[in-house]
Amino acid sequence: MPATLPDLTDTETWMDDDLDALRVAVLAEQERRHRAAQAPAQAPAQVADLVRSAVAAGADPDALVTAAQDAATT
């Protein structure tokens, strides 16, 4: 059975807990959308940080470059 949506135009009748739950859900969705929008711009820096960590742990830099190129083309 599908969930019944409350009447969003009549929030004066809502219990405080319900209003707060809606506020929390809206904020969580807005934050998720913001993170999703920012992800492509942040990806290069995150990859660079991962590579630095891998090299510091002893990974072969050339193998990392090859793996990144393979991943980008497949």
Q: What pLDDT tens digit does each residue of the chain (74 aa) get?
A: 566 767 778 888 888 998 899 899 999 999 999 999 999 999 999 999 999 999 999 999 999 999 999 998 98
In tens, the pLDDT along 36-47 reads 999 999 999 999
Return the ∠ at Cα 48 (arms to 44 and 52), rounded to 5°: 175
Report the percentage of the chain scoring pLDDT > 90.
70
Can you give the pLDDT at residue 67? 93
How far apart are the C-alpha atoms of 11 and 18, rounded to whole Å?
9
